[in-house]
Chain A
Amino acid sequence: MPVPGQTGGPAAVELRGVSRTFGRGASARPVLAGIDLEIAAGETVAVLGPSGSGKSTLLRLVAGPDTPTDGTVLVDGEPVRDMDRRAAVVFQDARLMAWRSIASNVAFGLPRTGMPRAERRAEVARWLEVVGLEGFGRHRPSQVSGGMAQRAALARALVRRPGVLLLDEPFAALDALTRLRMQDLLDEVRSAARTTILLVTHDVDEALQLADRIVLLSPGPAASITAALDVPVPRPRERGDLELVPLRTDLLHRLGVGRTQVTSPSLSLPSLPHKEPLR
């Protein structure tokens, strides 16, 4: 859906030999090491990895508040600057400002200058509608559910028309059913948003549902990419699509979860893996 006034469109992202180490000397704590990753404009990539593997650090390097110790991060061929305007972040918690209405929280995502008031209002209304919050603009954050708050946070990011949308475990704090609804919503919103998406998650099914490509991080410290796997099924996908079962089993196996033998495709509930303790 092309929109007048839209700038840029989806951006390509490239990480070249990126490492990030916190601290120095004896107390140095390497978090990421030697990350090479290319994301095509408009692609959706899910970064999957165990807790503490540096997923969020990776995302912060692309967003801009953090810079790599080594290597470069490029958005559309240009290095990422401090808090890059081409990127928009959705955090795990909605982080709405309690003193602002939902609409005003969404408007916080707009660039601060160069847009007439009427247009700003129209933009906010449009994205509220896209995320299914029409009629809730005047509500206060404390008056809406966690899922609705997260929708508002998504609208706040999308209203920026980001080249890259960075999602940091955006649905992890929601209840299971709301999480599924939000995944569907993101799938729908994607056509309107025209943006590259980098999704950090520890939920294998979420990655399978939403991503074109899944990147696996090794457990930290000094995490690196152990695999980058294309998801073979076109979107939007059926949950529990049998074609995804082998990939799912493979992913779980690589993450150290699941039976060693490949799960039978005839299982009626592929979304309920038998969990074994982490190795």
Chain B
Amino acid sequence: MSGITAAAVVRSRWGRTALRAAAGLLLPAALLIAWQLAATSGTYTRSQLPPPEAVLDAARSLLDRGELQHHIAISVQRVLIGFAVGASLGLLLGGLVGLSGAARAALAPTVQAIRAVPSLAWVPLLLLWLGIGETPKITLVAIGAFFPVYTTVSAGLDHVDPRLRELGRAYGRRGPALLAQVLIPAAAPAVLSGLRLGLAQGWLFLVAAELIASSMGLGFLLIDSENTGRTDILLLAIVLLALLGKASDALLGVAELQVVRRWS
């Protein structure tokens, strides 16, 4: 009886989704247990490795003081604005390079060279030029988000099945109509995976920006907790970055899934 029910659960779509989610939680649970064991084993001091509940306590007290919400909000805001700017530019420039051979010849080498610059190398220059307000941080996130979007969009458009291009032209589509009705839809799956990569890289660059010159945000929380010896807050910031990154990626992942389903 119970065997039949379990089999039915496995077979049903919701059952499979739930099982997969449960499987994905196994490793974090194991890590949590290992963390707890390591923290209480006496090998590490409490300032080296505080137990999970100390991190929870830190979160609670920061929440009570209204600081944690503030750090999270400012970081999320920077990522969203920076991602919007960087991804838009990536779509634009990637589209240009993917569609026009002349634009590719003129722009692609330079863009590839700029891409090779490590994120941290930009920080001093951005501070020098843009001061220490929000602009340099958002700019750095935008730089981070730009490149994956640019690369996947230009490659995606470049690799659109030439037979579909021929079809579009045979049916009178050229220029913007060909782009909107054939090329962009055909490249949509690639574009969406590019947006996902761009968002992930936006978070990476955010921390780079906040580590160095800021008084707010999760990156600041990291560097500040290190300076004040608050390993519990440091771990909290790391966990939060992981959760936020995963959550924002999952949102885009849902959109990507819809597209891939419709496109295949």
Contact = CB atoms under 8 A, between A and B. Distances in A.
Interface in B142-200: 163-164, 166-167, 169-174, 177, 181-182, 185-186, 188
Contacts of B129: none
B262 interface: yes
A65 B169 contact: yes
A136 interface: no
Contact of B164 (A88, A95, A112): A95
A89 B185 contact: no
Contacts of A65: 166, 169-170
Interface in A70-91: 83, 85, 88-89, 91
B241 to A, nearest CB: 35
**Contact residues of A: prevailing secondary structure:** loop
Contact of A85 (B172, B174, B185): B172
B262 to A, nearest CB: 6
Nearest to A64: B170
A100 B173 CA distance: 16
Contacts of B185: 97, 99-100
How many interface residues does chain A have, given as a range?
20 to 34
Contact of B262 (A91, A99, A108, A160): A99
Interface string A2-31: 000000000000000000000000000000
A83 B171 CA distance: 8
A91 B186 contact: no
B28 to A, nearest CB: 36
A20 B84 CA distance: 50
Nearest to A92: B163
A109 B166 contact: no
Interface of A: 63, 65, 83, 85, 88-89, 91, 93, 95, 97-100, 108-109, 111-112, 140, 142, 156, 160
Closest 4 pairs (CB-CB, A-B):
A95-B167, A89-B170, A99-B263, A99-B185
